[in-house]
Amino acid sequence: MKILRFTLLVLFMTGLPVLAGSHELTVKMLTNGPNGLQYVFDPMFIKANVGDTISFEPVDKNGHTSISVLVPPGATPWKAAPNADIKVKLAKPGVYLVECDVHKVMGMVAVVQVGKAVNLADAKTKAAEESAHMATNKDRFEKLLAMVK
């Protein structure tokens, strides 16, 4: 009986907090998105916790990619091939800027906030640089970064 209680205690202390603390979030990459928007990540703004995983899924296979253009200090950047699913583990707090490099010119971008926005000033600077290369929806990054709290 003592062994069973000890085993349950060990499982509770080591396994449950990890399972309870992390989630998998799904972001769809769409040519035609909600509310008549075109070339979007859905959702475009994601609030996550350290340890969560985001799954980027190209729904309509129109060459969409998921590429990090800015990650917080110590975080691992990523680059998915066109039309490829990618799962990204969010290991560091801060703001992550994401774009589809094929459709960036049309403003296909997203912002991920993980915990405290420790690199918000850097994110705003990088977003302005990236927005200068967009033909349409140049204000998307700005609007999304306004949601960071």
How far from the centroid of its chain's Cα atoms is residue 31's Cα?
Answer: 18
Cα 121 to Cα 17: distance, rounded to the nearest angstrom: 32
Provide the H-helix boundaries in the chain: 2-14, 16-21, 120-131, 140-145
Task: Count how many residues are written for the chain.
Answer: 149
List the one residue out of 45, 39, 88 whose CA is nearest residue 68: 88
Going from the N-terminus, what domains does the chain have, and what CATH number goes with each? 21-145 (2.60.40.420)
* Cα separation of the two ends of the chain: 49
Cα 91 to Cα 21: distance, rounded to the nearest angstrom: 12
List the one residue out of 18, 53, 60 whose CA is nearest residue 39: 60
Please list the pLDDT of the chain residue by residue as tens digits (149 residues). Answer: 444 343 333 333 334 343 456 899 999 999 999 999 999 999 999 999 999 999 999 998 899 999 999 999 999 999 999 999 999 999 999 999 999 999 999 999 999 999 999 999 999 999 999 999 999 999 999 999 999 99
Structure tokens at 79: 């680059």
φ and ψ of 74, to 5 deg: 85, -10
The confidence score (pLDDT) of residue 22 equals 84
The confidence score (pLDDT) of residue 11 equals 34
Cα 43 to Cα 52: distance, rounded to the nearest angstrom: 16
> Greatest CA separation found in the chain?
68
Cβ–Cβ under 8 Å, residues 115 and 149: no
The confidence score (pLDDT) of residue 21 equals 65
